[in-house]
C-alpha cells in the first residue's frame, strides 16, 4: 500500500513540473535569462497570423481554446507544426516526433530540424548526433532568433555533455 501511495505521489509531482518548452513570437522576445531556462519555439508572424494568441494559449495550457484556434488554421503544415508544439509542451515527445516527421526539416525557418532533435534527445535516443543536427539547423536558417535557439542548444551539447 505504501509503495502505491509513493508511486501516485511521484506521478503527481512529475506531471506538475513545468514544461521545458515555451512558445514565443518576435513581438514578445524572451530575455537572456529566459533563454537559459527554457527552450523556445518561435511562431513567426509570416507563418502564423495569430501567433501571439496561439503562444499564450499553449503556454497557458488551455487545450480547448487551442483546438478551436487550430481548427481555423488553413495551412496543413502549420496545423501539424502547432500540434507537434502542443505535444512537446505536454511532454509527449514521441507524439511530437511523429508530427514533425511529416514536415521537411527546413520548414518554419528550420525549426523542424531543431524540434526533431529535441524530441530525440528527450526520448534518450543516444544514437543521434545532436551537435551535428543543431549545426545543420544553424546553417539552414536565416532567422536570427532561430539561429540563436539552435546555437544555445548546440552549445549545451558542446560544453555540457
The C-alpha cell at 101 is: 516527421
Could you name the CATH architecture of 19-160? Answer: Alpha Horseshoe (1.25)
The C-alpha cell at 37 is: 531556462
Residue in the structure block whose three cell numbers are 534527445: 121
State the pLDDT at residue 52: 92
Is the confidence at residue 78, as pLDDT, over 90?
A: yes
Show me where the domains of the chain are located: 19-160
- Categorize the per-residue pLDDT at 66 as very low, low, confident or very high, splitting at 50, 70 and 90: very high
State the pLDDT at residue 160: 65
Amino acid at each position: 500500500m505504501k509503495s502505491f501511495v509513493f508511486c501516485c505521489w511521484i506521478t503527481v509531482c512529475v506531471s506538475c513540473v513545468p514544461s521545458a518548452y515555451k512558445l514565443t513570437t518576435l513581438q514578445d522576445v524572451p530575455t537572456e535569462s529566459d533563454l537559459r531556462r527554457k527552450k523556445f519555439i518561435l511562431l513567426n508572424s509570416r507563418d502564423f497570423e495569430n501567433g501571439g494568441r496561439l503562444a499564450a494559449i499553449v503556454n497557458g495550457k488551455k487545450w480547448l481554446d487551442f483546438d478551436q484556434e487550430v481548427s481555423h488554421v488553413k495551412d496543413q503544415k502549420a496545423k501539424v507544426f502547432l500540434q507537434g508544439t502542443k505535444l512537446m509542451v505536454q511532454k509527449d515527445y514521441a507524439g511530437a516526433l511523429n508530427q514533425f516527421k511529416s514536415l521537411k526539416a527546413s520548414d518554419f525557418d528550420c525549426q523542424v530540424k531543431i524540434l526533431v532533435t529535441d524530441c530525440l534527445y528527450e526520448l534518450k535516443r543516444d544514437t543521434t548526433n545532436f551537435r551535428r543536427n543543431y549545426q545543420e539547423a544553424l546553417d539552414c536558417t536565416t532567422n536570427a532568433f532561430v539561429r540563436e535557439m539552435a546555437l544555445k542548444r548546440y552549445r549545451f551539447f558542446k560544453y555540457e555533455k
